[in-house]
Structures are given as structure tokens and as C-alpha cells.
């Protein structure tokens, strides 16, 4: 593959998007998050005031920090190395169940979950900033425009709260009642209870299909599906078989002058090119720009980067 991003334009399909790939979107951390070190199948991170060790198959090199720094971690996760695999935490001392952190105007709780997560995916900061720039730009041009954003598989809500702070009307959908509860806690913690956010606990595919039947549309769509999951009534989600139909439905939910669509996939064994081609096929007459690649986190000292997920995102300009 060339060292330079590939840019192409489909022919004979109306107004296809300009395509650019591969694109590397990098997050360097912020006050409440740092990637401190990685290697030998693990990563050492700081979330707020706590340091955490978690499995990371992508960390195949050698550790750079002294063993004593790893040994001083406040929490260590052991268990299945798959992203959705269960396991358990081992704590050094009295570590609380939750602790406060912040990103911009949003306050949120970190929490130790059984699937090695801690309530936030820091690599998504690249998308958060990009979405907010699109919303701000659109509202500067049309201040009275009601911007509607749909956030599917919304988890603990940062990708819903941040665009809402810039004036978007957000619909947040997640199949987990617990995740919806955590998201609402984060809204309250941020003092943003008055923001126009609908919190909906439902199977994402069913919700999207119903919105299509209702004729509703959205200016922005955020899609962050798991590799595998179940809805509230046992509905099965499998990324490889469910995603094509979901994208076909979402195409119908895009407003005529839609601003963006983001797809992130944590099935790292797949390929950014696979989801790029699926998005390109879905949006083959949409115009605009389509870029795809990987989300990565840069170590705190700036030397190495850790690949975390694949993405493809479309924008009108």
C-alpha cells in the first residue's frame, strides 16, 4: 500500500463522495486521560487520578516504563483478551466504584466494568471534536437551523452530551438500561439536564427501522456498534451480518442536507477497507467526502501510537 492516502472518485454513480484512505486519527490524551505505556499484550493508562492496566492484543512491543511503575497501578484487569470478553478487576488499596472526570464542558464518571471498560473510549475524542466542529460551522451559517443528531449504541453518553452542548438535538439509543442510566448520570453530573436529549432504551436496528417508517430524518448520525450484542428482548446483533442492513436503513434517515455520518468498529481483526467499501456503497450518490482508517492513541511521551479501532466517516463538505 502506498505511504500516501488514496483519494478517488467513483464514476457513473451520480454524485459519489470523494474518498480518502487510509487516514489515521490520533488522540494524544487530555488532563483526565493518558496512555502511559504499552507492551507485552497490555497497556498502562491514567484515567483521572487512577492508573489502570488492561489487556491489549495490539500492544505487541516491549514496555518502556520501569516494572515498578506498572506494579503501582491502582487497578488491573485480568480475563478474556477479546474486547467483549468478561473478566475481573484486582485493586491495590481502596479504589472507589466510580470517580469523576471531564472532557470539555462534559463531566462523567469513570467506573470499573466487567468487560474491562471504564465508561469512556478516549480514542473517540477525535470524533467528538470533529462532530462539534461540523455542528458549530452549520449553526454559524444558519443559527436557527434545528440540527438533529442520532447516536446509536450510545453507551455512557459522551458522544450525545458533547454535540448537545453546541446546540444539537440528540437522540441517544442503547439496548442497555444500565448504560442509559450511566449516561443520564453523566448528564446530571455535568449540570446539563436542560439539554434536548432523548434517552431511548431499545434495540438499535428496531429503532432505526421504525424511524424509517415514520419518515424521520437526521442531520448527523453516530454509529458505534459492538462486534456482537443482544437487544433488550434478545435481539441478536452481529457486526458482519447486521451492519449492511443497518447502513441501508440509515441512508434513508439522512436529511437532504445532512452534515455527517460516523461508523466506528472495534472488530480490529477486520479491515478499515472493508467498512470503507460498505460505506462507499451505501453513500454512492451522497456526494461530499468519505474518509476511512484507524483511530489511534499516542503515548504520553509522544513516541508510539496504539491502534484501537477502525472508522469510516462521511461529511457533506
Question: What is the pTM for the complete model shown?
Answer: 0.92
pLDDT for position 86? 61
- Specify the DSSP class assigned to residue 218: B
Q: What's the confidence (pLDDT) of residue 234?
A: 86
Instruction: Give the three-class secondary structure for 213.
Output: helix
Q: Where in the chain is the domain with CATH 3.40.50.150?
A: 6-29+120-315
CATH fourth-level superfamily of 33-111:
Golgi alpha-mannosidase II (2.60.40.1180)
Query: CATH 2.60.40.1180: which residues of the chain?
Result: 33-111
Say what the pLDDT of residue 160 is. 98
d(CA 276, CA 291): 8
**Kind and range of the H or E element at 183?**
helix 177-189
Query: Is residue 243 a contact partner of residue 225, using CB atoms and an 8 Å limit?
Result: yes
Helix (H) or strand (E) holding 67: helix 67-71
Confirm if 186 and 158 have CB atoms less than 8 A apart: yes
CATH homologous superfamily, domain 6-29+120-315: Vaccinia Virus protein VP39 (3.40.50.150)
**Mean pLDDT of each 10-residue bin along the chain, 317 residues long:** 52 73 97 97 97 94 96 89 66 93 98 90 98 97 95 97 97 96 98 97 96 98 92 88 96 97 84 93 95 97 94 95
Reading the block at residue 180, the C-alpha cell is: 442509559
Q: What pLDDT does residue 6 have?
A: 64
Amino acid at each position: 500500500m502506498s505511504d500516501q492516502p488514496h483519494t478517488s472518485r467513483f464514476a457513473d454513480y451520480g454524485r459519489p463522495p470523494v474518498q480518502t484512505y487510509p487516514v489515521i486519527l490520533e488522540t494524544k490524551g487530555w488532563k483526565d486521560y493518558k496512555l502511559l505505556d504499552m507492551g507485552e499484550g497490555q497497556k498502562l493508562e491514567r484515567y483521572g487520578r487512577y492508573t489502570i492496566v488492561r489487556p491489549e492484543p495490539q500492544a505487541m512491543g516491549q514496555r518502556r516504563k520501569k516494572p515498578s511503575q506498572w506494579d503501582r497501578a491502582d487497578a488491573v484487569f485480568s480475563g478474556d483478551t477479546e474486547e467483549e470478553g468478561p473478566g475481573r478487576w484486582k485493586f491495590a488499596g481502596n479504589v472507589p466504584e466510580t470517580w469523576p472526570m471531564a472532557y470539555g464542558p462534559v463531566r462523567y464518571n469513570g467506573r470499573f466494568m466487567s468487560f474491562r471498560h471504564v465508561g469512556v473510549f478516549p480514542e473517540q475524542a477525535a470524533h467528538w471534536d470533529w462532530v462539534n466542529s461540523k455542528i458549530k460551522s452549520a449553526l454559524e451559517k444558519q443559527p436557527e437551523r434545528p440540527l438533529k443528531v442520532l447516536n446509536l449504541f450510545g453507551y455512557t453518553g459522551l458522544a450525545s452530551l458533547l454535540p448537545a452542548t453546541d446546540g444539537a438535538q440528540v437522540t441517544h439509543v442503547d439496548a442497555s438500561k444500565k448504560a442509559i442510566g450511566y449516561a443520564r448520570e453523566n448528564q446530571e453530573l455535568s449540570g446539563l439536564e436542560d439539554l434536548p436529549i432523548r434517552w431511548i432504551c431499545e434495540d438499535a436496528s428496531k429503532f432505526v427501522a421504525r424511524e424509517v417508517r415514520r419518515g424521520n430524518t437526521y442531520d448527523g448520525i453516530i454509529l458505534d456498534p459492538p462486534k456482537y450484542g443482544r437487544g433488550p428482548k434478545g435481539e441478536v446483533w452481529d457486526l458482519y451480518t447486521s451492519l449492511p442492513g443497518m447502513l441501508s436503513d440509515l441512508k434513508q434517515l439522512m436529511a437532504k442536507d445532512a452534515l455527517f455520518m460516523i461508523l466506528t468498529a472495534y472488530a480490529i481483526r477486520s479491515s478499515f477497507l472493508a467498512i470503507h467499501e460498505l460505506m462507499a456503497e451505501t453513500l454512492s450518490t451522497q456526494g461530499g467526502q468519505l474518509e476511512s482508517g484507524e483511530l489511534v492513541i499516542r503515548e504520553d511521551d509522544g513516541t508510539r501510537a496504539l491502534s484501537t479501532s477502525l472508522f469510516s466517516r462521511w461529511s457533506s463538505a
